[in-house]
Amino acid sequence: NDPIKNHRPNANNPITNFCVNEHSQSIKLHKNHNIPIRRTHPFHLRTLLFLTSLHPISSFSHPAPPSLLLSMPSSATTTHRHADDKFHFSIDRGGTFTDVHCILPNGDEVASKLLSVDPSNYDDAPTEGIRRVLREYDTATNGSYLRGRPVDTSRIGSIRMGTTVATNALLEREGERTGLVITRGFRDLLQIGDQTRSDIFDLTCSCPGVLYEKVVEVEERVMLEEFYEGDTHHHDGPCFEEADLPSCSSRGNVTNYWPRVGMGRRCVGRTGEGVIDISPPDPENVRAALQSLVEEGIRSVAVVFLHSYVYPDHELMVGEIAKSMGCFTEIALSHQVMGMVKVVPRGHTACAAAYLTPKIAEYLAGFVKGFDDGLLTNVRLDFMKSDGGLTPVNDFGGHQAILSGPAGGVVGYAKTSYRESKDGAGDGSKRQPLPVIGFDMGGTSTDVSRYDGTLEHVFETTTAGVSIQAPQLDIHTVAAGGGSRLFLQNGLFVVGPESAKAHPGPVCYRKNGYLAVTDANVVLGRVIPDHFPHIFGPNEDKPLDLEGARAAFQALVDANPEANGKSIEELAYGFIRVANEAMCRPIRNLTQMRGFDITKHALACFGGAGPQHACAMARALGISKVYIHRYGGILSAYGLSMADAVVEEQEPAKEVYAVANSRSSGFDEGNDPSKATRESRLDFLAEKAQSSLMQQGYPKESIVVEKYLNMRYDGTDNAIMIKEDNIANHVPLPFAKTFVEQYYREFGFELEGRDILIDDFRVRAFVPGLTPLPPPIVPSIGTPIPNGRTSAYFENGWEDVPTFKFEDLMPGHEIKGPAIIVQSISTIVLEVGCTAMVTGDGDLDITVEKKLKDGDISLNENTEVEEDPVQLSIFAHRFMGIAEQMGRTLARTAISVNIKERLDFSCALFTNDGGLVANAPHIPVHLGAMQSAVKFQVEYWNAEGREGINEGDVFVSNHPQLAGGSHLPDITVITPVFYEGKILFFVASRGHHSDIGGISPGSMPPHSKCLEEEGARIIAFKLVKDGKFQDEGITDILVNQEFGGTRNLKDNLSDLRAQVAANNSGIRLLHQLVQENGLDTVEAYMYYIQKNAEMAVRNMLREFAAEHGTRAHAIDHMDDGTPIELTIDIDPSTGSACFDFEGTGPQIVGNLNAPPAVTYSAVIYSLRSLVGQDIPLNQGCLAPIEFKIPRFSLLNPSDDVGVVGGNVLTSQRVVDVVLKAFKACAASQGCMNNLTFGDKKFGYYETIAGGAGAGPTWDGRSGVHTHCTNTRITDPEILERRYPVLLRQFGLRKGSGGNGKHRGGDGVVREIEPLRPLTMSILSERRTLQPYGLEGGEPGKTGKNLLIDKRGIAFNIGAKYSGNFGVGERLVIETPGGGGYGMK
């Protein structure tokens, strides 16, 4: 008799439920649907719950503070709830506050709010919230709800909970001790991840640690049969015996033997794909590996094998052995946790399940301790998953709980704000509901999302450095909330990302906290202490501390010269405006980057802090409608009470859904190759999901089933989850129309001539939760009588404004801003020009007047705009936001893997003379180079005798020496921004094209000696003229080349169009910015933002000169001995500096020559990193710098020499030299390790990570891209599924980092074996000269490139090599480590 499975007596009544939503943590107990191994966790959970239920909670030393309760009678038109003589709770535990919603036995509703962490008064906030409600409203049970006693559950009908337990454990790395069992050769795969760093300017390359404590590798391997062209037959032994291999010290990390390709049992995988089991695991070795974890005290294990999503047998075997040992309380098999392709996110997800699920069990054990034994037998207990659905406690796994809290809010606003309405014409017709932006502002962070009739899901996200592969609501989080701390840095107002948290909290919480956004609202009179709960101070009976907050702002004014002349109120209001802009930025990204018009949305505001900011943000976004629910302060909890009970089932697939019609556009409708398999698998998954819900007690007739296919075009990686269209279900290829339409909306084009493939089958079965009826339309009854007046600060300063109590408002009341509406659980600030209408169900419908009408743009060049630090901070956000959205548009609309998947591109804004204003931090080597390219085009086309720059023109160039390029594959597209015939600005995008011709596929030849050998050269060409794309002209340039034209013209043209589209998105956003603020203001702040960056760099140079002297010098060498020498002379009075590269060697016969633009980029990257704070990235960073680069040197070559290696290799050495001169850190790997392979049918390109240099206070990170690059690497399963290669190993090169007080990071080992003859090329550096150590630290090891022949003999092929590799041969790349820092 399972006490958890059978504890819900009212399973047939989905109304009886109790919700607990904790934003700071999420709980999930994942269920094994395939084998009974996962049942080990529910047993572990049941045991914990049983044991802890024997121990009552300890008594409390303080009396309970007054309950913060809001009561509202139930209404048939608003709640549709039925009284059943029970209490039904919904609780959202956020990072700062815990919110409780309860349906009382008579059907009325109450809401309460309490601090999430208050250790001096209670152990657990959700338990305390339940206790307070019961004490207040259940008067029949005398004394049953006193502190120190278990809560009597006899009157509780249900509990629904959204929890942040898992989220907090993930963020703080406080999960269960976990071991990782993984395929041999890949022990470090999850640590390396996609090899990128989150902050490209962070020299420490800091990232959260991995979730597992120890790794054991298992000798097991399968390969996909698709690309193998040889015989497949069984082979019992290894391919090579150790004795057969010659002793060869040069082999380094090369393994002694590998199972031979194609040798092994042939199987059919879950997707129907052929699989060859080339190395089945040995059970005794597996048992020994698991025993080593047990001996370390590890009881939670994740098992991650390559291709287990298609062939799970090896994982299942390990799982059975682990279960039989009886030592593990949690066993997470990756294919069961989430059976999707991509081993890195799947592996992270399995680790998250193993790491977090026991913490959920631990939390539940503590939660249960607060109640009597009836909690498990008489109360229905459900939890909210990240996908917005409820699940029983025994199916709630850690990996499903990351967004457990925020998901309740999405359900809440989706069911209360997205409604049809009458059009007001009186004819009874209905208007299509507006899409809704959800704005959930809490104390620690803000979540934004979008709803347009269906919940939008994503299937791979990254939280706290961990990639989670599971269905999750598409929620974007920004570190700005009521508790976000406030700073003044380098003349800018900075909000967050640091948080005051719940403890100690903002200054006004009376716990010696930090200055935060809430303090600003208190100082401005927007939060009124007398109307806020008096729950602060030692006895929890004091109001918010206004005077303490004012004193903290005064201290900030006194300590910062940029605040001189500003009043406390001006300072606080400035921070509010900057915080609003920080929260607007993700909303713009969520809508505009996906092709949605942001002004055609409503803003649904919830969260305790959100209503204080919603009206101002809506105006800034151009949104005219704001909805604030009567429970807006606790909407996440309220949403839980309406959530669906959900079961998801999914399995991988590899099916052709639609075959492209070779004779015309579209698909062959008479050919439906997946029909039989598709229908049977979807029906099977549907039956499985329905059965699971029925076992929970739901009747079959209440269950709704949705079927999905995860689809993509052949040759792409952009899969889209497509829901079955019931209307079109009886027509040929029913999913195709929806897929093509959604793909076009998302990416802006269709891919004609390509098949549509199915990657996954998915079914979502659910029992619909309650949905409120639309509110009745009520006429206006005028303005209510205020309950008082208060002084509050708005855009025009202090104003005497009316205050209203929310509970006094009646349907039809209208309130014009400025005004303040006070709820017991939130404060609503009605800005100037806003009008609130109370709807028929008691919510607020706010109409927001626009700040500026269309066309309000000033072209008056004589208007003087004075610099304001608040405006400067806001424009810094806006300029960078535009560049980022350009980048998202480019990634969304591009075709090639290089741009779309590896993200090898950059986007930027420029002044009308080509000065860089904002460069989104995409690829560092592009940072300063594009400015040179734009300036060249401006000068070129405006020169005498040329046609000039006209509206409708778009320019393209790539020439490194003559046109400001970096290397030829990086093509720059530049568009002027016109208004009324005048050029206002320029926008530009630079993308790495996969091939532009030349002597080598991929246009990255290791041995090129002149520029012509590297591909097409473009100095200046109008890609678009008079608004027309010049297909013929650009095709001629790309195809007709001396050493061969592009091998992939179709992708070139598509990516160039994508770059034009990205630029157009920047133009549109710049026009909007000018319309909002006026041209004179925008131009002025473009100048001010450059000046601010210049000031920050000058200050850094002055500080360096004061500590180290006015001269700095460094020298390093390329592997061929060519020196790069730098002398820096600093003027301490002005903060200017001369960067003199005299002494740098001459240009070479080869391709390591680097044009000046590459040096500018390397220097601007280095300076921005040295500043150490978040400053605008623009030409101001280089304004204090004078460059002296000798002509015809390695860094300033003639216009005809090869440069392809200069961009990817020499750039790294320039950064090492600059950082060495500044004594900042030891050298990083100094290389990008450029690998290309292919044949006549395909080409592939990647760059490979290495070790980062150590610094004064940090060890260098291992296995990461450093300095001038930050591109992703292809997931191993995708690599082997798309290309004819087998990845033999990919891990850290242990010991390759330099020793020292702080160790340098280790490089990596990557070993690839072709499955058919391929040409493989490597272009690399640091194979001869070691990356330097600093301050006594030892250098890192050099890299090594090896060819392993069929006999297993290793040959060193040098730093630059291109040759043919056959089946049985392997390429091994060992990348350099980083240098150490300081004497050990």
Radius of gyration of the chain (CA): 32
Running DSSP on this structure, what letter comes out for residue 38?
G
pLDDT < 70: residue spans in the chain? 1-83, 95, 141-143, 230-258, 420-431, 502, 593, 595, 662-666, 726-731, 746-749, 825, 851-863
Determine how many CB atoms are found less than 10 A away from the CB of residue 1335: 17
Nearest to 610 by CA among 32, 94, 1366: 94
pLDDT of residue 1113: 97
AA letter at 354: A
Query: Can you read off the two tokens belonging to residue 24?
Result: 């700071």
Please give the Cα distance from 956 to 935 (Å, whole number): 13
Distances (CA, A) of 615 to 585, 587, 622: 16, 14, 11
Q: Distances from the Cα of 64 to the Cαs of 133, 146, 174, 534, in angstroms?
A: 12, 9, 30, 12
* Cβ contacts of 35 within 8 Å, gap of 6 or more: 316, 319, 320, 336
Tokens describing residue 996: 């532009």
The two tokens of residue 1125 are: 């020498």
* Token digits of residue 1122: 């060519």
Cα separation of 95 and 118, whole Å?
A: 12
Alpha helices in 667-789 (DSSP H): 675-695, 734-747
- Helices (H), ranges, 793-905: 869-893, 897-900
- Angle between helix 1156-1171 and 1211-1221 (nearest 10): 40
Contact criterion met (CB below 8 Å) for 412 and 843: no
Q: What is the DSSP string of 1159-1193?
A: HHHHHHHHHHHHH-S----SGGGTTTEEEE--TTB
Report the Cα 466 to chain-centroid distance in Å: 10
pLDDT at position 393 is 80
Q: What burial class does residue 1363 get, using C-beta atoms within 10 Å of its C-beta: 0-12 exposed, 13-18 middle, 19+ buried?
A: middle
pLDDT of residue 863: 65
- Indicate the DSSP class of residue 137: H
The pLDDT value given to residue 38: 31
Sequential DSSP letters for 774-803: PPPP----BPPPPSEEEEEEETTEEEEEEE
* φ/ψ of residue 814, rounded to 5: -120, 135
What is the distance between the alpha carbons of residues 1268 and 1271, in angstroms, rounded to a whole number?
10
888-915: per-residue pLDDT in tens? 888 877 878 788 777 888 899 999 998 8
Going 99 to 173 to 398 to 462, the CA torsion angle's sign is positive
Enumerate helices (H) and strands (E) in the chain, giving the number of each.
27, 59
3-state SS class at 425: coil
Question: Residues 743-759, buried b or exposed e (16+ Cβ, 10 A)?
Answer: beeebeeebeebbbbbb
Cβ proximity of 1298 and 1309 under 8 Å: no
Query: Mind listing the pLDDT tens digit for each residue in 315-346?
Result: 999 999 999 999 999 999 999 998 888 999 99
Diameter of the chain measured on Cα atoms: 96
Number of other CB atoms surrounding residue 1364 within 10 Å: 11
Question: How far apart (Å, rounded) are the C-alpha atoms in residues 1071 and 857?
Answer: 9
Residues 6 or more apart whose Cβ sits within 8 Å of residue 1107: none
Q: What does the pLDDT read at residue 748?
A: 63
What distance in Å separates the CA atoms of residue 1152 and residue 1168, rounded to the nearest whole number? 25
pTM beyond 0.85: the answer is no
| pLDDT at site 2 | 33
Our measurement of the distance from residue 1085's CA atom to the centroid of its chain's CA atoms, rounded to an integer in Å, reads 29
> What is the secondary structure of 553-603 as a DSSP string?
HHHHHHH-GGGTT--HHHHHHHHHHHHHHHHHHHHHHHHGGGT--GGGSEE
Rounded to whole angstroms, the Cα distance separating 283 from 974 reads: 61
CB 1018 within 8 A of CB 954: no
In DSSP terms, 1234 is beta-bridged to 1247, 1323
Of 765, 648, 650, 649, nearest to 702 by C-alpha is 765
The answer to whether residues 215 and 192 touch, using CB atoms and an 8 Å cutoff, is no
Whether 679 contacts 758, CB under 8 Å: no
Encoded tokens for 800: 């005497």
d(CA 970, CA 1158): 12
Beta strands in 1091-1207 (DSSP E): 1111-1117, 1123-1131, 1136-1140, 1185-1188
What residues form DSSP beta bridges with 652?
760
Residue 597, CA atoms < 13 Å, CB-side half-sphere: 4
CA-to-CA separations, 460 to 345, 358, 386, 716, 1262, in angstroms, rounded:
7, 23, 12, 17, 24
Residue 735: which of 708, 698, 760, 755 has the closest Cα? 708
State the sign of the Cα–Cα–Cα–Cα dihedral 421, 423, 429, 431.
negative
DSSP notation for 174-217 = -S--EEEEEETT-TTHHHHTTS--S-TT-TT---PPPS-SEEEE
Dig out the tokens for 318 from the structure.
Answer: 């390990």
For the record, the structure tokens of 250 come out as: 């040069």
Beta-strand relationship, 1136-1140 and 1185-1188: parallel
Q: First and final CA of the chain: distance in angstroms?
A: 61
Distances (CA, A) of 1298 to 192, 291, 677, 1306: 19, 34, 55, 8
pLDDT at 856: 45
Segment 744-783, tens digit of pLDDT = 776 666 777 788 999 999 999 999 988 888 888 899 999 9
Distances (CA, A) of 1338 to 652, 701, 712, 866, 1381: 48, 71, 49, 52, 7
Rounded to 5°, the CA angle 409-411-416 comes to: 95
Q: What pLDDT does 477 receive?
A: 80
Measured CA to CA, the distance from residue 123 to residue 367 in angstroms comes to: 9
DSSP code for 1033 = H
Using the structure block, give the residue that is written with the tokens 């959202």. Answer: 92
